Amino acid sequence: MSNLTKTVKLHARLKTKKEATKILGLIGDSIEHDTALRNVSTERDSTPFKVLISTMLSARTRDPVTEAASARLFEFFPDSKSLSGARSSRISKLIYPVSFYQVKAKRIISVAKIIEKDYGGKTPSKMDELLELPGVGRKTANCVLVYAYNTPAIPVDVHVHRISNRIGLVSTRTPEETEQELSRIYEEKYWLAVNELFVSFGQTVCKPIVPRCGICRVKAYCNYYENLVRTGESPVSA
């Protein structure tokens, strides 16, 4: 057995609830900018519908692109009534270059039609109703609950899933498992903050390929840092 393997086993333990709370605070101290969804949700004319559509556009898309696309879209189609009557070709042009923009254009029009017809133009505020909308999974539904309705939930995207496992808060294979474990580790009063903090942290510090461990305030608690960085087995950046 190699020394690296021994080190990995030595530092593979999961964090306690007390450590998890400390880590969340340290991540909060590291954040210098808000996510796209936070910006959309705090705008003066923000609505749950805009949060839902922006979340759908954000999948596999960088925040600046999401914000710009959302702004262009909502200038002409700010609600379900207007968007439900739009042509997909027009919407595609407005939201480009978000990833899969043609597919997303058709989906958000379909969502607008359902909300207008079945919910009287009011975006659903319950998980089961949100999940019935085309293209809406648990992450998107949870984002609507958190950012639009201030309802405690933990949306788990690639950043939240990666960071939680990298640090050692959880040991999971899927975002759904991560959501369950984080909901167990963190008291409900912290749920609203988890996605916002982890996503921003993942965009600026705990990056996917070359994390900036040199400036990271969490490294003293991080399994990744203990296992790989100190052995020189993984690239990092200042």
Q: For the domain that residue 78 is a member of, what is the CATH number?
A: 1.10.340.30
Residues 120 and 209 in one domain: no
Which of 152, 164, 156 lies closest to 192 in space, CA to CA?
A: 152
Give pLDDT tens digits for 125-163. Answer: 999 999 999 999 999 999 999 999 999 999 999 999 999
Give pLDDT tens digits for 15-46. Answer: 999 999 999 999 999 998 999 999 999 999 99
Residue 235 in any domain: the answer is no
- Total number of domains constituting the chain: 2
- Give the pLDDT mean for 85-109: 98
SS3 sequence of 33-99: CCCHHHHHHHCCCCCHHHHHHHHHHHCCCCHHHHHHHHHHHHHHCCCHHHHHCCCHHHHHHHHCCCC
pLDDT of residue 5 exceeding 70, the answer is: no
Is-above-0.95 flag for pTM? no
pLDDT of residue 49 exceeding 50, the answer is: yes
pLDDT of residue 6 exceeding 80, the answer is: no
Residue 100 in any domain: the answer is yes
User: How confident is the model at residue 10, as a pLDDT?
Assistant: 42
Domain end (from 148, 169, 202)? 148
Residues 40 and 137 in one domain: yes
Give pLDDT tens digits for 158-179. Answer: 999 999 999 999 999 999 999 9
Q: Categorize the per-residue pLDDT at 1 as very low, low, confident or very high, splitting at 50, 70 and 90.
A: very low
User: How confident is the model at residue 130, as a pLDDT?
Assistant: 98
User: How confident is the model at residue 167, as a pLDDT?
Assistant: 97
Rounded-to-integer distance, Cα 219 and Cα 99, Å? 33
- Give the pLDDT mean for 116-120: 98
pLDDT of residue 55 exceeding 50, the answer is: yes
Greater confidence (125 vs 6) lies with 125
Residues 52 and 13 in one domain: no
CATH number of the domain that 22 lies in? 1.10.1670.10
